């Protein structure tokens, strides 16, 4: 709800390419990025079953884990203040510009961090 108050599209109907961020933020903020969900994502990474594009994160059986763990990674790598800056972004291009990264680089760094730092 807080996210909607800060976003140019309060109901998120006019966002472009960031459904994964909208839902991932809700998943992460609500504490649903638990060890079970993270293990599902890690298995998908090990099996090369992770999407190569962010707009594909919000699809399939583990969409909450993929999206939530990406937001968790952004919070960890870029910090809470940067995460808050992203709340007013309504498209993927602006979100990536705010992070000063590209889509492939962000996904690669997320993947490496998840496997390196979230072991059982």
- pLDDT at position 3 over 60: no
Considering the domain boundaries, does residue 43 fall inside one? Answer: yes
Considering the domain boundaries, does residue 10 fall inside one? Answer: no
Domain total of the chain? 1
Considering the domain boundaries, does residue 78 fall inside one? Answer: yes
Range of the domain at 40: 17-117
Considering the domain boundaries, does residue 5 fall inside one? Answer: no
What integer is the mean pLDDT of 51-60? 93
Contact (CB, 8 A) for 58 and 16: no
Considering the domain boundaries, does residue 91 fall inside one? Answer: yes
- What tokens appear for 63 in the block? 């969409």
Considering the domain boundaries, does residue 110 fall inside one? Answer: yes
pLDDT for position 120: 41
């Amino acid at each position: 709800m807080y996210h909607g108050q800060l976003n140019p599209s309060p109901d998120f109907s006019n966002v472009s390419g960031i459904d994964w961020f909208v839902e991932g933020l809700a998943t992460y903020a609500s504490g649903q990025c638990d060890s079970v969900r993270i293990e599902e994502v890690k298995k998908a990474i090990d099996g090369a079953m992770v999407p190569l594009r962010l707009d594909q994160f919000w699809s399939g059986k583990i969409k909450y884990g993929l999206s939530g763990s990406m937001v968790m990674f952004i919070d960890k790598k870029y910090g809470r203040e940067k995460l808050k800056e992203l709340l007013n972004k309504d498209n993927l291009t602006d979100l990536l510009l705010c992070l000063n990264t590209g889509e492939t680089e962000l996904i690669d760094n997320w993947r490496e961090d998840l496997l390196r730092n979230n072991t059982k």
